[in-house]
Amino acid sequence: MIESDLSKIRQINQIDEAKVQVGEEVRFFVEETAKIEVGERLRIGREASIFGDDVFQDTGRSSIIKMDSESKLLVKGTFDFYYGSDVYIFKNGILELGNSSFINSDCVIRCADKITIGDNCAISHYFKVLDSDFHSINGVKKTSPVRIGNHVWIGTNVIVLKGVTIGDGCVIGAGSVVTKDIPPKSLACGNPAKVIKEDIEWA
């Protein structure tokens, strides 16, 4: 795959320049038949700022966005990827990102089917999410969509695997590996992640 020019990506997808803000070290590898839709604003390669959310600071840390043919990146409103992001949307895959959500530094996303992240989510460093095994065992390769609901807080070093739904209002503790659905308003942690408290509220 040949590295893509951001201005050409904006032109093909009819995206205003202000809607996609990137750091200097963000690299795009996007097939021409891939589709990017941005509601209000997508920022990639940003750094947390003491000056507030409206300040974009380039860190010089590289981020990579890869999109195969017929894949889609859909941003509902505003979404931020911090520095060190590594995102790959495979052929026909759909990555859908909610409004007023962010993923902190050094995330890894591998999307072969569909991954949805809801509104008002706070996702910490070294987050990983995969919706496929990407290899077959006894001739079977398993792929299944992942859905992260609204107002979900995910701690550092969390891994979310194929077929998982994390309900609205959940908190996932640091270092957890999520292999099964987590009901709304639950606190879950561990490997594999298990619910340890129900009916929680976080802010």
pLDDT tens string 105-145:
999 999 999 999 999 999 999 999 999 999 999 999 999 99
- Decide if 183 contacts 165 (C-beta within 8 A): no
Predicted confidence band at 50 (pLDDT cuts at 50, 70, 90)? very low
Residue 184: cis peptide before it, omega within 30 degrees of 0: no
Q: What percent of the chain has pLDDT over 70?
A: 93
| Helix/strand/coil for 78 | strand
Residue 18: phi and psi, rounded to 5, are: -70, -20
The structure tokens listed for 182 are 């987590």
- Decide if 22 contacts 45 (C-beta within 8 A): yes
Predicted confidence band at 18 (pLDDT cuts at 50, 70, 90)? confident
- pTM to 2 decimals? 0.92
| Active-site annotation holder among 135, 140, 201, 203 | 135
For residues 81 and 16, the model is more confident at 81
Stated as kind and residue range, the H or E segment containing 176 is none
Which residues have a Cβ under 8 Å from the Cβ of 51 and sit 6 or more positions away? none
- Section 62-66 average pLDDT: 93
Residue 69: phi and psi, rounded to 5, are: -60, 140
Sign of CA dihedral 19, 126, 95, 198: negative
- Section 9-17 average pLDDT: 87
Predicted confidence band at 49 (pLDDT cuts at 50, 70, 90)? very low
pLDDT score recorded for residue 56 = 52
| Active-site residue flag, 135 | yes
